[in-house]
Amino acid sequence: MKRKPVNSSRMPVYRDAGFELFDAETTKYAFSKETENERIPELYIYSRYRNPTVVAAEEEIMKLESCNWALLTQSGMSAIDTAVSVFQHAESSGPWLFFSEIYGGTLSYTESVLRTRRGLQVHSFYPVNDKYDLHEFERVIRDINPELIYVEAISNPMLIVTDIGKVIELAHKSDSKVLVDNTFATPLLCKPLELGADIVIHSATKYFSGHGNLTAGVLCGNDSAIMKDAIEYRKYVGHMISPDDAYRLQTQIQTFELRFRKQCQNTLRIVEMLKNHPVIRKVWYPGLPEHPTHSEALKLFEQRGYGAMVTFDFTGKSDNEKKKKRDSFVQSVSEKIKVIPSLGDPKTILMPVESVWGAKYPEPGLIRLSVGFEDSKELEKTIADALMHVE
Ligand code: PLP
C-alpha cells in the first residue's frame, strides 16, 4: 500500500533499515547514483548510507556553520575518526600535527589508533604558559611539513583560545589541511570554515544537542571532494547516527542559539563572582583580561561571547588544603550541581580536573564548570552558598 506523507511540520523519524526500491531498474539506478555520490534526494537505499531524518538534522547544522555539507555520526569521536581518515591514504602516511591541548579522548585516539594501530607519524604541538606560540608553529610546520593539522578553537580545561585564522593561513602556505574541533566555541562565537578551515568537527553531544540525552558528532565543510570521501568512509565503517538521535538533535538544535547565549551570559556572572571571592585563588576564562589568550579571544570571537566553560581553583597553603576546599565545595553544591563528565547540559555541571587528568595540571584544586541555562540568580546563589561553606 502506498502511503501519502501527512501534514507534519518536521521530518519524522524514519526507522527503516532498508528503503523500498520497487523494481530491478530503480534498484540499479539508486545504487549507481549512490556510489557516484549523485544521490537522488527522494530515493534512499539503506540507513547506514543515508537517512531522511539524518539529512534533515544535517541541514540544520549547515545553516549554523554556514557551509555546504554536514555529516552526522554517532559520536564526536566517530566524527573525528571520519574527518582524519579522509586524509589517510596507503601511499602517504603523515606526518600529522595535533595541537596538544585537545579533548583527552582525541589525544588517546591519536596514541592508540593513529600511532599504535595505523602506524602514522603523529607530532604534537605544545603551548607555553597556556598559550600557543604561532612563530614556533610556523617553524614546526616548515620543519615537518605536516599533511594535516588538528586544533581546537577553545581547549579543555584551561580554555586556551587559538588564533585559528592565523593557524589556517600558515598551514595553507605549506599545503597542510586544517581540521578544527569547534565544540567549545560553537558557530555562535566563530566559524572556522569561513576562515578557510578544511573541516570543522563538533561533538554534537554537547551544545548542539544541549540536553545531555544523546551522543552525536558532526563534521562539516565546503569542499565536495572531501565530502565524497567522508560519506564513503562513514558508510563503510558504519559511523552513521541513528534516526532517533538525529530526530532529537534536529528538534533540540532549534534552541541552540537561545541556550548558548544564555549559557554565556550566566558564565560571565559566575566568573565575576568567582573572581572576587576570597576562597578562590584563580579563575581561567578567555573573557578575562588576565587570561593568557584573552587577545586571541577578542580577535577570534569579536566580542560575541567567550563560551560557557570556566575553570577555577582554591586558595590554600598546601596542595592538601586546596583539595580539601575543592571537596568541600563539590559536597556543598552536590544537590544542585552534579559531577558529570560532559558539558553543554541544561543545568550547570562540574568536573574535578585532577580526578580526570591526574597531575597534568599543577593546580590540584581545579574545578571545571560547564555553565547551564538555568535562572542566573538561583545559580549565583547556589554557588555563593557553597563557597560560603568551603573550609
Ligand atoms: N571534542 C571535544 C572538544 C569533546 O569535549 C568531546 C567529548 O567530550 C569530543 C570531541 C568527543 O565527543 P563524544 O563524546 O560525543 O564522542
Q: What is the pLDDT of residues 134-189, one digit of tens each?
A: 999 999 999 999 999 999 999 999 999 999 999 999 999 999 999 999 999 999 99
Q: Which three cell numbers stand for residue 202?
A: 563538533
Find out whether the beta carbon of 217 lies less than 6 Å from any atom of ligand 1. yes
pLDDT at 3: 67
Query: 248 alpha carbon to ligand 1 midpoint, in Å?
Result: 18
Contacts of 200 (CB under 8 A, 6+ apart): 65, 67, 179, 180, 181, 182, 191, 192, 193, 219, 220, 221
pLDDT at 1: 55
CB 164 within 8 A of CB 197: yes
- 352 beta partners: 367
Q: Helix (H, G, I), strand (E, B), or coil: what is residue 32? A: helix
Cβ atoms within 10 Å of 203's Cβ, excluding its own: 27
Find out whether the beta carbon of 186 lies less than 6 Å from any atom of ligand 1. no
From the alpha carbon of 106, which atom of ligand 1 is closest?
A: 10
Residue nearest (by alpha carbon) to ligand 1 atom 11: 76
Find out whether the beta carbon of 58 lies less than 6 Å from any atom of ligand 1. no
pLDDT at 363: 86
pLDDT at 37: 63
Residue nearest (by alpha carbon) to ligand 1 atom 5: 103
Query: 250 exposed, middle or buried (CB, 10 Å; 0-12, 13-18, 19+)?
Result: buried
From the alpha carbon of 79, which atom of ligand 1 is closest?
A: 16
Residue numbers in the chain where pLDDT is lower than 70: 1-3, 36-38, 92-93
Find out whether the beta carbon of 75 lies less than 6 Å from any atom of ligand 1. yes
pLDDT at 5: 73
pLDDT at 234: 97
Could you give all domains of the chain from N- to C-terminal order, each with its CATH number?
Answer: 24-254 (3.40.640.10), 256-388 (3.90.1150.10)
* Mutation choice for ligand 1 from 72, 74, 77, 100, CB with most ligand atoms inside 8 A: 77
From the alpha carbon of 184, which atom of ligand 1 is closest?
A: 3
**The dihedral formed by the CA atoms of 83, 152, 124 and 358, expressed in degrees to the nearest 10:** -120
Residue nearest (by alpha carbon) to ligand 1 atom 14: 76
How far apart are the C-alpha atoms of 136 and 106, rounded to whole Å? 23
Find out whether the beta carbon of 203 lies less than 6 Å from any atom of ligand 1. yes
Q: For the segment 114-132, what is each residue's pLDDT rounded down to a tens digit?
A: 999 999 999 999 999 999 9
Find out whether the beta carbon of 77 lies less than 6 Å from any atom of ligand 1. yes
